[in-house]
Structure 1
C-alpha cells in the first residue's frame, strides 16, 4: 500500500512499484485516514508511508497502525527538510522499519538508484514479522544473563555499537541509559541511506545524554561522545587511536559495515574493546564481533525477545561472537556497569 498525498509522487511510486516483479500494488491512497480505513480490507504486506500528510501525519498514522493492525512500514521522506527528518526518525521510534529518500521525478539524477532502493526496502521489509508494540521493560533476561556472567578482564577503553533494521529506536534506548559523563568514546554504525545520516545523528543528539555527531577523519575520540559513521562510508579506529573514514568498497553490500568497525576495534584495543550488536537483517557485524571476542574484548548481542529482526545478533551468536545476550532494556545499564570498572 502506498500512502502519499501528492498525486504526482503517488503515481510515480506506483510506477516504480509496478516495474518490480517482486511487488504488487494493492492500494494507493492520499491520506492517513484513508489508509486506516483500507488497511483491514486490503491487508498489505508492507506500507510505503509519506510523512507530511494532510490531517493525520505519517508519524501518528504509524503509531495507529502499529497499535491496531501491525504492518511493516517504510517511511518515504524528503531528505533535505529538517522538520521532515525529525518526524521520520520519530516514526522509526514509533515502529516504522526503515526510511528511504522520496523520488522527485523520472528525469532527475539518481532516480534509478532511489527507485531501486525503494523497491528493495519494500520487498525486504515485507518479510519482517511485526507485533504490537510491547513494553520492553517487561522482557526477562535469558538464563545465561546473570550479573556474574560478564566481567571485563581489563578496563574498557572504547565502545563500538551497530544496528540495522529497527536500529534507531534500539540505539536511542541503549544510549539513553548512558550518563553524560560515560567514560568511553562510542563509535556507531547504523545502516541507513546516506541522505539521512546527518538528520539521524541530530535526532539522536536531541534524545540521549551523550553528545552525538558525525565522525570526522583523523578525529581523536573523546569519552562521553558518540561518533556516527557518515553516510556511505566505513567508520574505523586507526592504529594511532584516531578515527578513520574509509571509502573502501562495501562489505557484503554494506557501507558502513559493522564488521569492519568491530574488526578495527579488535586490532587496535583488543581486550579493552566493548562491542554491541543490535537488531538487524542479515549478518553484518557478526564476523567482526567474533574477531573482537577472540581478541579478548567483551561482546553483547541483543536477545531475540526484543530484537525487531534477530538476523545480525543471531549470526553473531552462531559464530561464537557473543559473550552475553541481553534484552534491550538491560544492555545500557550493563554497559554502565562495565565501563565503571576503571583502574
Structure 2
C-alpha cells in the first residue's frame, strides 16, 4: 500500500491506495451523460500509454506492393490513475479548466496543483462521456510505502461477472471496450485467417466483426473459452480471463491466448441469456424461473472502435501488412459497421 507525494515538496497528495490492473475502458469515451468512476476508491492503476500518439519514424521498402512504416508511440508514459475521492492536498489551476461541457476533460494539461508548493501534479477528468478519474503525472509525484491492510487477491472462481446489457436495453460500455481489446489480440494471433467462435455470447460479441475484417471462407483457426471452472483442453486459440487486480492472464496450453476482462469472461462462460419458450400451463412452484427475464439488447453488438484501434496500434503484429490494412480501414471509417 502506498500514498503518492509531490516530487517537489514531499507533501502527500493522495489517500492510501493499492495497485490494480488498468481497466480496458480507461481510454473510452461513451455517450454524452455523466459516467461513474474508472476505479474503485482505495486503488490505483498505471497506464503505460495514455495520451500517446503514434507517428511514423521513417518509410521502409515496399513489400508485396505495400509500403511498410515503422511507428513509435510518444507522450508521457506511466501516468497513474486514482479515484477522484482519493485526492488530498491539491488545488485547481483555474486557467486550465475551460472549454468543457459538464466538467473537465484535461485537454489543457494538468489542472490540479500541489496545495503546498503550487507544482502541477495531476489532471482531473470528469466531463460528460468520460469515466471519472484523476491522472497523476509520473514525473510530478512519487510513491511512498505506508502501513495498511495487505491486499487480498481474489480467487479466480470468486470473481464477479458483468451483464452485457444495461438499463434500458443498451449494450454495456464495459463490454464494448473489453471485447474491442480482446478483438485486437485475436486478430493479431489469427495470422489473417478466418476464425470460428463458439455459439452464444461469444459469437454475439465477436462473430460479426470477424466476418467483417477477416477474409471469407471456411475457418482455419478456432477460438474456444478456457479458464477457471471449465474443462482443461488443448486448443488452437483460447479466450481466457485476465485478473482485475493483478492483470494475470489465465495460463493454458493453447497455441495462442486472447485475454479478456475477467468480469466479461465470467459472464460469457457461465450465463445463458436465451429466452425460454412460454409453457402452455402454469409452472410448478418449485421450478427455478427468471422473473423478470434477463434484459435483451435493442441492437446488434458493436465493439468500441476507438478502443480497438488504440489497442491494435500498440501490438507488434500491426506491422504486418495485412493487419496494417485492417487498422487503416477502421481508422479511416471509425464508425463503420460493426464498430460503434
**Normalized against structure 1, the TM-score is what?**
0.26
Higher relative contact order (CA 8 A, sep 6+): 2
More strand, by proportion = 2
TM-score, normalisation: structure 2:
0.26
Radius of gyration: which is bigger? 2
